[in-house]
Amino acid sequence: MRRLMRRREAAEIAGEVAAAAVVPPPSVEPDPTAAAFFDVDNTMMRGASIYHFARGLAARGLFTTNDLVRFALGQAWFRVRGNENPDHIAKAKETALAFVAGLKVDEVVHLGEEIYDEVMSDRIWAGTRALAQAHLDLGQRVWLVTATPVELARVIAQRLGLTGALGTVAETADGVYTGRLVGDLLHGPAKAEAIRALARREGLDLSHCSAYSDSANDLPMLSLVGSPCAVNPDSELREHAKENGWRIRDFRTGRKATLIGLPIAATAGAVAGGIAAGIALRKHYRSS
């Protein structure tokens, strides 16, 4: 019995000594002028977010086979590297707008929340999520920046505990989509302009900020900040990152890395997914 008590006392002393010997980590003063910007498709999430949204609609019986074929044909408009044809972008946008008119914003947001929990949450890259959390832990704000409709982008940001999202904005009136965009698709140079505008509003110093993307289409955004990082990069972005000494993080393995580089990741390809989603939602409203 005494031997047991001595062991316990020795253990307690060892524990107290170990705790007292811990050197506290140096405190880091938050930099209010620093922030991080993350692309979504294939950077934060495997695949295209609007495609996963469409899959969720299909699971609810809001798609027909023809709708899914239209989506697949939309993906075929774009090359593997994601170098979109401007004429195709314009055509895709016009078609998408024809379907979005009259849809209720609240319904789209509600479906986005459900579908994120059911389909998208398991597709978040743990490595990219950890990168975002590291910025949050430093007291920095973290925004998603994506061509995905801003309502869906906000759902993703909220679910991940991020600051907010910049996304493509569709015009609304009385809670209903009008069928017109406010500005244009948030793609390529438009992402950089959105970040500049946000930086002015929030008092950010872009030289203190970080940006993350998988695509060479986002070079304007990546080149805007002091600390760019290529995440799961396509070949063009990887080469550019190497030449310029940018950080590279790749969380893909094997065949998965090849599949993720397919056109489904292209911004305008996401618009094609939006067309199919719009078709399904319109049929849903007409039948209800």
Question: Is residue 205 flagged as an active site residue?
Answer: no
Q: Is 122 a catalytic residue?
A: no
Interhelix angle 105-115/49-59, nearest 10 degrees: 90
Query: Contact 54/118 with Cβ under 8 angstroms?
Result: no
Burial of 156-194, coded b for 16+ CB within 10 Å and e otherwise, reads bbeebebbebbbbbbebeeebbbbebeeebbbbebbbeb
Among residues 31, 41, 214, 250, the one annotated as catalytic is: 41
Structure tokens at 152: 């869906």
Active-site residue, from 31, 39, 87, 106: 39
Full DSSP string of 70-134: HHHHHHTTS-TT----HHHHHHHHHHHHHHHTT-BHHHHHHHHHHHIIIIIGGGB-HHHHHHHHH
Asked if 36 and 140 touch (Cβ cutoff 8 Å), the reply is: yes
3-state secondary structure of 283: helix
Q: List the catalytic residues.
A: 39, 41
